[in-house]
Each structure stands twice: as C-alpha cells, then as structure tokens.
Amino acid sequence: MKAILLKLLFEADPAAGSPSGDDRLSFVTPAPWPDSLEPDDVLAQSHGADPNAVFDPGDHPVVYTHFEALVKRRLSQEIAQHPPLFPWEQGLQDYPDQLRSDADIASIWLNHLRTLDIPTDFPEEVLVDLFGQCQRVARHTRQLGRQLVEAVESFFPDQSQTLAYVAGVVAQPNTRSATQAAIESVDYTTASTQQQITLTMLAARSIFEALCLTVSPLMPSITRHWNTPSGPLSVTVARLNETLLEVRADLPEPGSMTLTGLTDILHRDRSTPGELLLQITHPHPQTTYTLEVNLGEAATPLRFQVVVEA
C-alpha cells in the first residue's frame, strides 16, 4: 500500500491542464518506475540513495562516531605503552598539582632565620624575600655596605639617599649594637620608612654573616649550624694546609653539595642522611667560592660564601 501511495504522489496527473503561451513551463518526465518495487526500494529512491550501497549516506555520523572511538582506543593503548616525555625527561616523573609559594620553598631554611639576630616582630613574608635577596647579592658583592643596599633596595624604591645613609650606619661595627638597641622595640608595620629600612638592613646583616664562611691562617676552620625541620645541618670549612681546602657537611636527610670556584666545580650527593666531603687542591687565595647545599625536595638551596684569605 505504501508503494502505491508513493507512486500516485510522484506520477503526473493526465487530467491536469497544461499552461499555454509564455507562461508554459517545461517539466522533466520522470524515469519509468520498475514493474516490481519493494517498499524499502521506494523509500531509498525517494531519499536519493542507492539501494545497492553498503550503507546509506545518512549513516555517516554513526560511522564517524565508531571510527573516532577506534582511534581514541588505539591512541590510549599507544600512550599507555609508550608515554610521551618532555625534552628534559629521561623517564616518567611526578609533578606537584600546585606550585609552592616562596614561603613554602624557603620554609625549610626559615626556621633557622628566626634564631638569628633578627629584630622582633619582623614580617615573615618580608624575611623570606630578604633571605632570597641576600643569597643572590652575596654571590657577586663582598663589600658589606653595598650588600646591604642591594639586598634592601627592592623593598624601598626611590629611597637611594636614605638607603646609603642607613647602610653606612649599620655596616659600622661600633654603631650597630647601639642602633639595634634603639630600634628593637619599634613595630615594623607602624614604623616610618627610615625605621623600616634600618630594621630590614639589620636583618640582612645577620643573614649575610650566617651565610659567610671565612678561613685564614689565623682561623683555619669554621663551622656553621643550620636548624631545619629534619634536624640540624652542619657545614665545616677547613684549610688543612696551603694546598688543600676541605668542605664537610653533615646532612639530616638525603641531599647534595656543590662547591663552585673560578675554575673548579665539585659535586657530591647521597640518598640517605649523612656526611658529604669535598676537597679543593691549591685553593686560590683571596677568592670566594659558592657552596650550595640541597636537602630533600627543597627548591631553593642554601648558599654559603666560602672566603679563602691569604
């Protein structure tokens, strides 16, 4: 019945009148229908599809979806067997979900900073930033006055004259104790700009002293202890003789130690807590070496300046 209805719909009505004159339109005579048609064939021809085709063009979305699923499954298998790596990776590595803040990075060293001769109620966020500045400045500047100015100037822009004046006062050994006694009761958050500069430079000087290891014929050995959450870290620099400089570190957890000089770069690491030893033969007099100590997953190493005096 469906085929008969469709045939009636598609056939021209012989009783219908034809237009005449200029209004006459030309009609394309449809191709004759086969004598025997199945309903499915009629539906297929009505949609312009080939009844002998493997699939109908209308089925393309289904085919694409199936093909996409196959590609995804194949890619998942390939990635599982051969995971992609970054150019700097030799194998799979785990990365933290979130980057740590500067305070988290420096927290392993921050415990000891509080034991230094730091003014009371010194803001922790300022102390963390100041610690990083002092480590950076100490690598290329040895004169204390310049160290103080360079470490503090980013906190107080456009205060160059005040910075130079306060640095000259704080750098003098005979005036430092009097300056600290006069200002130790000042609250940093409510202090004037000059008072904040003074407090910050006093803290910077204590940090510079803690990070400097100087050996000389009169003082051939020096030791620094640094408190960490895992336990005390101790670093000893000894000038055994004129031709041998020894650096020894006792680590409270796995870590490494690197000593860098003009032409020398020495490195040691260990996977368990314990001692590390580095030796430099024929150390250069009046030369500053940079000693970096890493503990565990600390992103920021503890950098000491090793000074060999003649």
For residue 280, give the 3-state DSSP assignment.
Answer: strand
Q: Which residues contact 71 (CB under 8 A, 6 or more apart)?
A: none
pLDDT score for 17: 47
* Residue predicted with more confidence, 177 or 287: 287
**What's the pLDDT tens digit per position in 162-184?**
999 999 988 887 766 666 666 66
Which residues face 213 on adjacent strands? 306
Q: Tell me the DSSP string of 83-149.
A: ----TT-SS-----SSPPPHHHHHHHHHHHHTTSSPPTT--HHHHHHHHHHHHHHHTT---HHHHHH
Pairwise CA distance, residues 122 & 232, whole Å: 23
pLDDT score for 176: 63
**What's the pLDDT tens digit per position in 103-158?**
455 567 888 888 887 776 788 888 889 999 999 999 888 899 999 999 999 999 98
pLDDT at 34 over 80: no
pLDDT score for 102: 47
Sequence-separated contacts (24+) of 101-105 with Cβ below 8 Å:
102/128, 102/129, 102/132, 103/128, 105/298, 105/299, 105/300
Q: Considering only 118-127, 260-269, 275-284, which range has the smallest mean pLDDT?
A: 118-127
**What's the pLDDT tens digit per position in 75-105?**
888 888 877 777 656 666 665 555 445 445 5
* Residue predicted with more confidence, 189 or 35: 189
pLDDT at 13 over 60: no
**What's the pLDDT tens digit per position in 42-55?**
444 444 555 555 55
pLDDT score for 180: 66
**What's the pLDDT tens digit per position in 234-257?**
999 999 888 899 999 999 999 999
**What's the pLDDT tens digit per position in 198-213?**
999 999 999 999 999 9
pLDDT at 226 over 80: yes
pLDDT score for 162: 94
- pTM exceeds 0.85: no
Confidence of residue 71 (pLDDT cuts 50, 70, 90): confident
pLDDT score for 97: 56
Confidence of residue 14 (pLDDT cuts 50, 70, 90): very low
pLDDT score for 95: 55
Count CB neighbours of 137 within 10 A.
Answer: 21
Which of 249, 247, 259, 256 has the alpha carbon at shortest distance from 288? 259
List the alpha helices (DSSP H) in the chain. 2-10, 39-46, 60-81, 102-113, 124-138, 144-152, 160-170, 173-183, 193-210
What b-and-e string marks burial along 77-112, b requiring 16 or more CB atoms within 10 Å of the CB?
A: eeeeeeeeeeeeeeeeeeeeeeeeeeeebbbbbbeb
